[in-house]
Amino acid sequence: MAAKAKTTTKKPAAKAKAAPKAASKAAAKASARPAKAAKAAKPAKAAKKPAKAAKKPSMTLSVLKPSVNNLAVRIFMRAARLAAEEKDVYGSTRSADFLKVNPAHLTPMVEEKGLPKGVLWESCAIMSYLSNKHGLEKFYPKKPAKRAMIDSAMFYLIGTMYPLLARATYGRLGFGLYPGEVGSTDLGDDHKSSAQKAAQDALAEPLEVFRTFYMDGQPFIGGKNPSIADIRLAASLEFLDVIDYATPKWAKDYMAAMEKKLGKAYSEPAADVRGYIQYVKSK
Ligand SMILES: N[C@@H](CCC(=O)N[C@@H](CS)C(=O)NCC(=O)O)C(=O)O
């Protein structure tokens, strides 16, 4: 919205500058060409617009609170101090109204007027978009090579690590799995649990890749400060607790460092995920 607001803010201002000239020119010709004079007077009226456009952008963030995909964006919004109305859409992601705007029925989802389709889903795309829009280089560096590393970490997480994490934890969490994965088939429990175990075992490799390659001796993927890739990773690792995964010490320290660095921005929304995990474990 702000991007569009900026363009509309600029236009009337430019027109407004030209307005007195145009208006006097038009006035001189007024008797001969009244219609043109009326047209020339228009920009002066348009100059009032910026005040309206400068209003606080209204953004809605639809979420499911026990989800780590959602947790990432909820942490980011708070850490970046971006205002958004958070809407809990539990139970309504497949309603006709929701599907009309988001046929993928996925949260987190941001709604904002300036977006080409009015909505945006995919946690990493949302964080990149908002970082770009608000110039949040601290979370998403502008230099192409540095940014590429953050993108690589996020794509690697979404494409390689997260499917393993989902297979390893979603069954225990009581979540439906991605289409085609073993949990959503009619296979027996022994088959499902061996698939779960295989995914759990396979998690060690991407975890190690994050440590050795993306962090490479630095506290965060982003270096000294957490990037949007770090927010996405730390949030994801919260789910490991539900399977009592033997999380490596470095990863525990990393998560603690993220929470310390981001404070309430991290711990407040993380409490929803942790509360849900405790509930599941208590059953
Ligand atoms: N890759 C997506 C995953 C989003 C996703 O799986 N969202 C789930 C919650 S964890 C959802 O909204 N499911 C609701 C539904 O499918 O109806 C992201 O990172 O945002």
* CATH number, position 204: 1.20.1050.10
Please say if the pLDDT value at position 273 is more than 70. yes
- At 40 the pLDDT is 40
Contact by Cβ (8 Å): 208, 202? no
Share of the chain above pLDDT 70, in %: 77
- At 27 the pLDDT is 34
- At 237 the pLDDT is 98
Please say if the pLDDT value at position 25 is more than 60. no
Mutate to test the pocket of ligand 1, among 106, 110, 232 (most ligand atoms within 8 A of CB): 106
Q: How far is the CA of 57 from the centre of ligand 1 (A)?
A: 25
- At 55 the pLDDT is 57
Residue 240 within any structural domain of the chain: yes
Residues framing ligand 1 (Cβ under 6 A): 64, 67, 69, 93-94, 105-108, 121-123, 158
Residue 43 within any structural domain of the chain: no
DSSP per-residue codes, 49-101:
HHHHHTSPPP-EEEE-TT-HHHHHHHHHHHHTT---EEEE-TT-TTSHHHHHH
Residue 244 within any structural domain of the chain: yes
Residue 51 within any structural domain of the chain: no
What residues are paired with 110 via a beta bridge? 61, 120
Residue 263 within any structural domain of the chain: yes
- Least confident range from 32-36, 52-56, 262-266: namely 32-36
Contact by Cβ (8 Å): 95, 146? no
Q: What is the pLDDT of residues 37-94, one digit of tens each?
A: 334 444 444 455 555 555 555 899 999 999 999 999 999 999 999 999 999 999 999 9
- Least confident range from 45-49, 129-133, 134-138: namely 45-49
Which numbered atom of ligand 1 lies nearest the CA of 126?
A: 20
**Domain assignment of residue 252, given as a range:** 60-282
Q: How far is the CA of 199 from the centre of ligand 1 (A)?
A: 19
Query: 269 preceded by cis ω (within 30°)?
Result: no
Instruction: Tell me whether strands 109-111 and 85-88 are parallel, antiparallel or unpaired.
Output: unpaired
Which numbered atom of ligand 1 lies nearest the CA of 122?
A: 20
- At 176 the pLDDT is 76
Tell me which of 191 and 147 has the higher pLDDT: 147
Q: What is the mean pLDDT of the chain?
A: 84
Residue 90 within any structural domain of the chain: yes
Q: Which has the closest alpha carbon to 259: 62, 136, 108, 78? A: 78
Residue 106 within any structural domain of the chain: yes
Residue 153 within any structural domain of the chain: yes
What is the number of structural domains in the chain? 1
Please say if the pLDDT value at position 30 is more than 50. no
As given in the structure block, the two tokens for residue 9 are 């803010």
| Stated pTM of the model | 0.81
- Least confident range from 39-48, 115-124, 152-161: namely 39-48
Which numbered atom of ligand 1 lies nearest the CA of 106?
A: 12
